[in-house]
Structure 1
Amino acid sequence: MKKSIALLFQISALIGLIAIGACSQKDNVTEGETTPMLAKSELEDAAWHMEELYWEYVQKIDTVAYKTLWHNDFMGYPGFGDGVSDVRKIASWIPDLHKDPDLKYSYTLHKKGSNSIEDVVMVFYDTDYFWTDSQNQVVRKETYKFTHTWKKVDGKWLILGGMAAIKNQEVLGTESGK
């Protein structure tokens, strides 16, 4: 009888260990299922932070640091010119923002959306450009829409592609005579 009880105890312990292992496996599957959602938002937050850094470089006219944000094989449709551009001319527009010494350039970002697909993040946003005079009065304003596609390459976030265009300042249906 003592052998039966000992055997029953061992079998119960074995079943308990198997159950614990099964629960542990289930927890791992659950973690695996929820981790991509966290990773997705973390990736999108990281890409948005890179957009903020991008604009800090533009504000400081730091074209050297700005150029480090771009993948060597980048191709995009910039807001300047009429054609696509590669990485060689990507910073050419920045000095023009600051060319009038009597005006101060500044900006405001408006995040519209982002989406990560695996390890690639697309960010969509508007940027208001402001030029103010010595009395801090806005003398000029433009709004552009942007999209950039980011990917972490060798531990560093880089822009693979993108597009910028001036945003139409008129609201549809409000043109005079309509």
Structure 2
Amino acid sequence: MKTTKLMFLGMIMLFVSIVTTSCNQNNKDSEKEETKVPAISKENLENEAWEMEEQYWDYVLKMDTVAYKKLWHDDFIGYPNFGDGVAAKSGIAVWIPELHQDPSLKYSYKLFKKAANAIGGVVIVFYDADYLWTDKDNNVIKEENKKFTHTWKRYGDTWLIIGGMAAER
């Protein structure tokens, strides 16, 4: 029994010695530099989200509702300026064809960025948009003014709209 206790005590001391040596700051393995992923600045996140807003409007202009709907998170819910209330992703593109329904008028827009605020991997963007319809001589026939807010969340390298609201200005 005395031999068993001595062997057990020896094993504990060996284990403590190995752990102490491997955790020592002078150990060569602990001198390896950690690879750090560079943090994206608040300003860069806000600029990326604004670029996504510009892409959003390019899809609207081109009436590309397939690409447009890819900008939205599957669980999106928002308050658009059409319909009777909140909308999910499934109904978010219904307003786009209406902008282009009169073949004698050309639809265009102007964006006016008001603010963007990045909090972690989420950016809230606020802006105004003027909808313009012009005739063949480039005269403005009709104009509408809206205000928007979109909340964008970054998933890896992909930005998706997770919430938003639009209203008359």
Normalised by the length of structure 2, the TM-score is 0.76
Give the distance between the partners of 2:156 and 2:79, measured in 1 at CA: 25
Among candidates 118, 131, 137, match of residue 116 of structure 1: 118
The residue identity in structure 1 corresponding to 2:113 is K
Unpaired runs of 5+ in structure 1? Answer: 1-34, 168-178
Q: CA deviation at 1:152?
A: 1.0
Q: Which segment drifts farther, 86-95 or 152-161?
A: 152-161
Give the distance between the partners of 2:63 and 2:121, measured in 1 at CA: 30
Q: Deviations over 1:13-57 (max 9, x none)?
A: xxxxxxxxxxxxxxxxxxxxxx86x61000000000000000000
Alignment map for 1:61-72 (pairs within 5 Å): 61-72=63-74
> Match for residue 137 of structure 1?
139
- Aligned to 1:81, what secondary structure does the other structure show? coil
RMSD, aligned α-carbons: 2.0
> Match for residue 57 of structure 1?
59
Give the distance between the partners of 1:131 and 1:122, measured in 2 at CA: 28
> Match for residue 28 of structure 2?
none
Give the distance between the partners of 2:85 and 2:151, measured in 1 at CA: 18
Among candidates 104, 107, 112, match of residue 106 of structure 2: 104
Q: CA deviation at 1:102?
A: 0.3
Q: Deviations over 1:62-113 (max 9, x none)?
A: 0000000000000000111120000000100000000000000000000000
Give the distance between the partners of 1:52 and 1:103, measured in 2 at CA: 22
Among candidates 65, 81, 84, match of residue 83 of structure 2: 81
Among candidates 20, 38, 41, match of residue 39 of structure 1: 41
- Aligned to 2:136, what secondary structure does the other structure show? coil
> Match for residue 91 of structure 1?
93
Q: CA deviation at 1:154?
A: 3.8
Q: Deviations over 1:114-169 (max 9, x none)?
A: 101111000000000000011110010011000000011242100000000111xx
- Aligned to 1:46, what secondary structure does the other structure show? helix
Where does structure 1 differ by over 3 angstroms across 4 or more consecutive aligned residues?
Answer: none
Q: Which structure's CA Rg is the greater one?
A: 2
Unpaired runs of 5+ in structure 2? Answer: 1-37
Normalised by the length of structure 1, the TM-score is 0.72
> Match for residue 22 of structure 2?
none
